[in-house]
Amino acid sequence: MTDRAWGAPFETGGLAAVFAHPDDETFGCGGVLALAADAGRVTRLLIATRGEAGTPDGSPDPAMGDIREDELRCAAAKIGLNEVSVLDGYRDGGVADEPFDRLVDEIAQWLEERRPNAVITFGPHGVTGHPDHIVVGSATRWAIEQLAESGMAPAAVYVVSPIFGPGAKRFDLSGEEQGATHRVDVTAVAGRKLAALECHASQADAKQELADLRAQLEADGAIYEGYTRVRPIVPAPHPVFDAALL
């Protein structure tokens, strides 16, 4: 199923993230993954593409895929991930062109083998509206429902809610992505999140996020990541922010 995988000896449980491209993990949940690793949890990541379209003009380039895969390895080491897997057969910018059922089945198989306690993925708008983000987030949630039929679904599923992020970015978010149920203070691992962003040096938006986070730390002395728990649904009113995901 996966074309490439690396990491520590296999263990089940812990926290897993499923995203579309190298660097999605650092932008979306690098701090929470680092916190989970520090707490002794198994942390793992599944990425759908190699990110070969991350060139300045968006043209796919296999050499860029090699670069971004190396950057992903660097970022995973900074965050402290136990395992990283990259799917085979999905083109950066073209995930939606492949059979959706196949993507669902491959994600379900990966999750079933690892049995994480909690999963993080993209919400309905994929934060930025990127088609790959949207389809990977949707496929992940379908995969989890598929696993639920046999009693193997994770205990909790979260989508990234970037409303506490730095800078002046304004995304056209879905209701789920706007309605964060958890705000996690990741200041204690800010250095590792910043170092992971530095690993993704080929990407201009990573450089901008790095500058924005540094400015926020200097101004506020703290940085946060936001999440909405979508399975099981959190009833209103929402719980107090700053709760842990695991």
pLDDT of residue 158 exceeding 90, the answer is yes
Alpha-carbon distance of 173 to 171, in angstroms, equals 5
Cα–Cα distances in angstroms (integers) from residue 230 to residues 59, 75, 118, 181, 243, in the given order: 35, 27, 11, 9, 15
pLDDT of residue 236 exceeding 80, the answer is no
Pairing type for strands 156-160 and 118-121 reads parallel
What interhelical angle do 204-220 and 190-199 show, nearest 10?
Answer: 160
- The answer to which of 25-29, 75-79, 231-235 has the lowest mean pLDDT is 231-235
pLDDT tens profile 115-156: 999 999 999 999 999 999 999 999 999 999 999 999 999 999
Q: Which domains does the chain have, with CATH numbers?
A: 2-231 (3.40.50.10320)
Cα–Cα distances in angstroms (integers) from residue 191 to residues 29, 100, 130, 201, 245, in the given order: 14, 37, 28, 16, 20
Cα–Cα distances in angstroms (integers) from residue 13 to residues 95, 203, 229, in the given order: 27, 32, 18
Alpha-carbon distance of 135 to 133, in angstroms, equals 6
At residue 182, φ and ψ (nearest 5 deg) are -135, 130
* Bigger pLDDT: 235 vs 63: 63
Tell me the average pLDDT of the chain. Answer: 93
* Bigger pLDDT: 170 vs 232: 232
- The answer to which of 35-44, 83-92, 166-175, 200-209 has the lowest mean pLDDT is 166-175
Cα of first residue to Cα of last residue in the chain, in angstroms, is: 28
What interhelical angle do 190-199 and 62-79 show, nearest 10?
Answer: 160
Structure tokens at 138: 């949707």
pLDDT at 9: 56
pLDDT confidence band for 245 (50 / 70 / 90): confident
State which H helix or E strand residue 184 sits in: strand 182-185
